[in-house]
Structure 1
Amino acid sequence: MKINDTFFVSHGSPMLSVDESLPARNFLKTWTDKVYDLKPNSILIISGHWETDFPFVTAVDRCDTNYDFYGFPDPLYKLKYPAPGAPELAKRVQELLTGAGLKRVNMDKSRGLDHGAWIPLMLMYPEADIPVCQLSVQSHLDGTHHYNIGRALAPLKEEGVLIIGSGSATHNLRALHRNANEEVVPWAEEFDTWLEHALTSGRCNDVNEYEKKAPHAKKAHPWPEHLYPLHVAMGAAGENSKAELIHRSWSLGALSYASYKFTSCT
């Protein structure tokens, strides 16, 4: 099975798992009906909630559910996503990344899926029957580093692996408005629009250097961990891939749920 597409989804708040009023929740719940109807052999997901000094991949037999958030309603802490692990995929990821010149790529044989991984997957693939492997990000490095990681992982698509980056198109938690009906603040909208135009016009280098090129980059992402999963998905699609905005919605005035599909051009 060959897969031509990679994806970036904005997972936003943990409330995505239970809040029926969020349009992004409905978008992810209709994933297999409206976005991607093929069932992959396995899933490699890159989450902005796993930051390490060098790449780590999970290599477990069964995925535990990590509740790496605080102060949310009790029902969130009862949700489970017991997908099978993908230790063979983890070995393949390690092989590809070390083959691309990364000196150190470690396997984690105990870590469960964080909420940046299991919440979107629970909505997209609720049966929890597809093996899942999670890859970390390196926040002290740059977009080009993560793009190159994606490039190294591109052969996985030929093996039926669906590569998903999970983060947020904008992610400044201190700038959120608690009034759910708050209008989108201009700086967030300007960054989000710039990102869409850069991606859909194929300006990969601009996206890799977004901190220099994008308006309000530091305000949209005070720390880059939630955007780097996008760079991995973009890199894995290939140099001449086509990007498409597949969802856009907002919450709390500044949190974008913009999500993208990257299609490899062969």
Structure 2
Amino acid sequence: MPVVFAGHGSPMNAIEDNLYSRTWRIMAELMPRPEVILSISAHWYTKGTKIMNEKNPKTIYDMYGFPRELYEIVYNTPGSPETAEASKALISRETSYNNSWGIDHGTWSVLVHMYPERDIPVFQISIDADAPPETHYTIGRELRSLREQGVLIFGTGNIVHNLRLAEWDKVGEGFDWAYEFDGFVYENIMKKDHEKILKYEDQGNLAKLAVPIPDHFYPLLYALGASDEGDSISVYNRSCVLGSVMMTAYIWG
């Protein structure tokens, strides 16, 4: 299976027919059908690494103040306890099973377009808020072999995500620094220079603006770790909304 990173942006993308939702559908059409989807979402940000092994994970509505239609979405896929167990065995650091969470909007707002039938098992692995970038990348690398078993490793966040600086009238526009940081990441993904991306904080104030909190950035590192040197790289949705949220998506393989 390929590896995917998707910039998910606003939860409203789940119910809107727009450039992003249409592109996610196209991305799914271009890939083999997964046997299982392993999602690393910006919105399961925890102390330690947690793995969901629920047979029937619940849909999580981890957002506030949106239209009722959004809260009526139920992404009721089965889980995959077997793949969760295999994942736990592959990860070298201490992990634990935890089913207090579920399929959150970082995951379902994209998958509702990619796989609307809801018949592919989905489970999530959390992001340890205290771990350095190298740890997240290493976990992705350790999970890479799951690709050979039909597992889609799916990172969902945003390469640039700074809601404190968002300007709600900049619907399809971005600040210069947002494009610059996205360009830095793009250049090094295409060159397959992952080390520079892991050391993104070396970009100084640019990194502080683009990644004030790394929850939305770290899912990219899992995808990079799971990618392979021989993978082709495709880029989608390379645009900005609200001035400070980049929607860029990648497929490796």
TM-score (norm 2): 0.94
Equivalenced residues, count: 253
Distance 2:183 2:234 in 1: 13
How many Å separate the matches in 2 of 1:181 and 1:96?
Answer: 42
Q: 2:236 aligns with which of 227, 231, 246?
A: 246
Q: Where do 1:174-253 residues align within 5 Å?
A: 174-181=164-171, 183-213=173-203, 216-239=206-229, 241-253=231-243
Whether contact under 8 Å (2:172, 2:239) holds in the other structure is no
Q: Is the 8 A contact 1:200 1:242 kept in 2?
A: no
User: Would the aligned equivalents of 1:169 and 1:259 in 2 still touch at CA under 8 Å?
Assistant: no
Q: What are the ranges of 5 or more consecutive residues in structure 1 without an aligned counterpart?
A: none
CA shift digits 1:40-71 (9 cap, x unpaired): 11110100101122111111111211100001
- State whether structure 2 residue 26 is matched by structure 1 residue 30: yes
Moved over 2 A (4+): 29-33, 180-183, 238-244
| Residue ranges of structure 2 left out of the alignment (5+ in a row) | none
Please give the residue correspondences for 1:47-196 in structure 2 after superposition, counting only pairs within 5 Å. Answer: 47-97=41-91, 100=92, 102=93, 104-181=94-171, 183-196=173-186
Q: Is the 8 A contact 1:194 1:214 kept in 2?
A: no
Deviation, structure 1 residue 198 = 1.0
- Contact 1:40/1:160, CA 8 A, preserved across alignment: yes
Q: CA RMSD in A?
A: 1.6
* 1:58–1:109 contact (8 Å) kept in structure 2: yes
Cα distance change on mapping 1:240 and 1:139 into 2, 3 Å: farther
Partner deviation per Cα, 1:122-181 (whole Å, 9 max, x = no partner): 111000000111011112222211110011101111111110100001100111111144
Contact 1:200 1:244 in 2 (8 A): no
SS at match of 1:30: helix
Alignment CA distance shift 1:171-1:84 (3 Å):
same
| Structure-1 separation of matches of 2:120 and 2:206 | 38
C-alpha change, 1:242 and 1:204, in structure 2 (3 Å) is: farther
1:14 to 7, 11, 19: 11
Counterparts of 1:82 and 1:195 in 2: how far apart (Å)? Answer: 34
Distance 1:230 1:68, change over 3 A: same
Please say if residues 48 and 130 of structure 2, whose CA atoms lie closer than 8 Å, have aligned partners that are also in contact: no
